[in-house]
Amino acid sequence: MKNKNQKGFSLVELLVVVIIIAIVAAIAIPNLLASRRAANEASAMSSMRTIHSAQATYQATVGLGVNYAATLVALNTAGLIDSALGAATSQKSGFTFAMTTGTQVYCATGVPTTYQTTGDNNFGVETDGVIWKNAGAGPMTCAAGDLTPAGAPIQ
Q: How many CA atoms lie within 13 A of 37 on its CB side?
A: 18
pLDDT score of 63: 86
Residue whose C-alpha is closest to residue 154's, from 120, 131, 135, 138: 131
- pLDDT for 2-39, tens place per residue? 566 667 888 999 999 999 999 999 999 989 999 999 99
pLDDT score of 14: 93
In sequence order, the 6+-apart residues with CB closer than 8 A to the CB of 138 are 122, 149
Quick check: 144 pLDDT over 90? no
Query: CA 54, CA 79: separation in Å to the nearest integer?
Result: 9
Quick check: 47 pLDDT over 90? yes
Residue whose C-alpha is closest to residue 125's, from 38, 65, 43, 51: 51
pTM attached to this predicted model: 0.82
Q: How many Cβ atoms are within 10 Å of 110's Cβ, its own excluded?
A: 34
User: Band of the pLDDT at 82, cuts 50, 70, 90?
Assistant: very high
Query: CA 75, CA 86: separation in Å to the nearest integer?
Result: 7
- pLDDT for 95-126, tens place per residue? 999 999 888 899 999 999 998 899 999 999 99
93 by DSSP, 3-state: which?
coil
pLDDT score of 60: 93
